[in-house]
A and B are shown apart, each in its own frame.
Chain A
């Protein structure tokens, strides 16, 4: 079985700085991590590899430093990693990103000589943009069925049985392979890497696919200009109330907090 997991590198911080000239995220000096739901997806893929036997490929799209996040995935059990990177792809919205990812997935499958990946996993949404759109949009470009909000996957002869937690219900769905599944909460937590696997991942090759490697991608349909949606404005959310800071001793703090709770009718 061949599994591919799409992984996004996201800021590991609350501090978000925007370049006012081009409305883009300032990435310099910001700590990055693997999007938490993507970590769940990688964990589930590695558990399936342990249970059924599988080759787990991780794929990301982003700037060159996103290869660091791919190495983190290699250190916890992924077998190989690819990064789609290039100036042409910068500023892509979800539709353009999905277009590029789907072509990258086809290209990697062709290079591996496997026809198609049996299972493609994505985190259900990213922690920085939160859209939950890239999974289903990628499934559409690949013309394969999708299941979202999955918590677990079992392999069957014809495909998979996916447990889905959505709209307050737990559904069990059967889906044929190949398919794309987006992962939400999973049982337990993603494993940590150990020192040996971490060291090994540092020297692992992470091949980069550039625009030239993906000739099927029409350059006019990707990147900032090729994206159908445009960000036209940005503002800080209004604070509901001005934050009050209490930093004296508890003898001072507690009466004030009790007063606020009483004023608002909580006690």
Chain B
């Protein structure tokens, strides 16, 4: 189905449920999408999928956070996330109501659902946005997202096909003010789950615990790389981390050398962290590593003055990482 720009109307936010309540990112996006809807004089709708009775008070909550309308699809097959069931239901709604945009949180679920849905609707999708803005000149949404491992920020638009689609990261917007006095329309849409959804079945699910330390919520990380030189030197990082109230992590090389467990690896094939302080010690800063690092303050230590890690560092120390760790530990222990 191809929908023309002039035939579409309304901005939709997919309200992602997790354990019976809405994920924070979905409410953040309702707030941001409210501003987009006002800028282009369109209505804002939330879309909720849940098992029988599973939507409970969520539609009212979505209205309180800014939605004018809430589409609710409840029934068997929607209790837990299933790509095909969810994609099929939202596509059915989109074909019926022709929204101008569909915005989805860039969670793992959102990034599984959004591309499947975009391809079904034969429309454009922008991944992992950090901002959105209505462009009154083009009458399109400007989707702002990082590219090339965060080296560039690009603006993407979807000028001709509708709906315009984007996934947006959590934490980019403040939660909107909740107003229980707001009024809106709740529209129940009984759509039976697609029969093809049975091709994928969840056998079991566990909260992942054996994934190493919780680096994702650490405020301070002391990360070592190849430049630490040896397993013995690498051990010193634990003392530095202790003194700073942080955790130890690594780039890929120390994991390969067996200095540290894989669950402590940061980067594309490891964990993504968002810290207040990140100290990178003897890490060259490959694009794979820095893609996993977000920090208010980055201190990098490397012998090589041209190491790419210095491109993202606030404080660039040109010198031996091992020597630096010993000297800093001695200083902090004083």
Contact = CB atoms under 8 A, between A and B. Distances in A.
Contacts of A267: 243-244, 332
A166 B208 CA distance: 9
A36 B269 CA distance: 7
B107 interface: yes
B236 interface: no
Contact of A175 (B160, B199, B206, B324): B199
Interface in A219-266: 227-237, 240-241, 243-247, 250, 253-255, 257-258, 260-261, 264, 266
A145 B84 contact: yes
Nearest to A14: B308
A261 B246 CA distance: 13
B256 interface: yes
Contact of A231 (B154, B207, B308): B154
A217 interface: no
A166 B112 contact: yes
Given A145-B83, A169-B207, A254-B327, A136 B115 contact: yes
Contacts, number: 250
A80 interface: no
Nearest to B198: A176
Contact of B148 (A16, A136, A189, A258): A16
B9 interface: no
Interface in B92-133: 107-109, 111-112, 114-116, 118-120, 122-128
Contacts of B151: 14, 16, 236-237
B239 interface: no
A131 B196 CA distance: 26
Interface in A146-185: 146-149, 161, 165-176, 179, 184-185
B158 interface: yes
A127 B149 CA distance: 7
A150 to B, nearest CB: 11
A161 B290 CA distance: 33
B202 A228 contact: no
Given A95-B119, A136-B112, A234-B152, A172 B204 contact: yes
Interface string A122-160: 000001111111111101110001111100000000000
Give the bracket for the number of chain B residues in contact with chain A.
Answer: 35 or more
A9 interface: no
A16 B152 contact: yes
Contact of B299 (A40, A130, A250, A257): A257
A94 B115 contact: yes
Contacts of B317: 246-247, 253, 257
A37 B270 CA distance: 11
Contacts of A241: 297, 314
B316 interface: yes
- Residue of A135, A254, A264 with most chain B CB atoms under a 10 A cut-off: A254
B107 A95 contact: no
B156 interface: yes
Contacts of B161: 228
B268 interface: yes
Given A95-B123, A235-B153, A267-B243, A173 B314 contact: no
B108 A148 contact: yes
B315 A140 contact: no
A14 B285 contact: yes
B327 A146 contact: no
Interface in B299-334: 299, 305, 308, 310-311, 313-319, 323-324, 327-328, 331-332
Contact of A173 (B200, B220, B262, B318): B200
A169 B318 contact: no
A57 interface: no
17 contacts: A127-B288, A127-B291, A128-B287, A131-B128, A132-B115, A133-B115, A167-B107, A168-B208, A173-B201, A179-B199, A233-B155, A236-B153, A243-B314, A246-B319, A253-B317, A257-B328, A266-B244
Interface of A: 11-16, 18, 36-37, 40, 93-95, 98, 127-137, 139-141, 145-149, 161, 165-176, 179, 184-185, 189, 227-237, 240-241, 243-247, 250, 253-255, 257-258, 260-261, 264, 266-267
Given A95-B124, A246-B317, 19 more contacts: A14-B149, A128-B148, A132-B115, A133-B115, A133-B127, A136-B116, A140-B120, A146-B200, A148-B108, A165-B208, A167-B108, A168-B208, A172-B204, A229-B124, A231-B155, A232-B156, A233-B155, A237-B146, A254-B328
The 10 A-B residue pairs whose C-beta atoms are closest, nearest first, are A228-B124, A233-B155, A140-B119, A229-B124, A131-B127, A14-B308, A166-B108, A136-B115, A133-B115, A247-B318
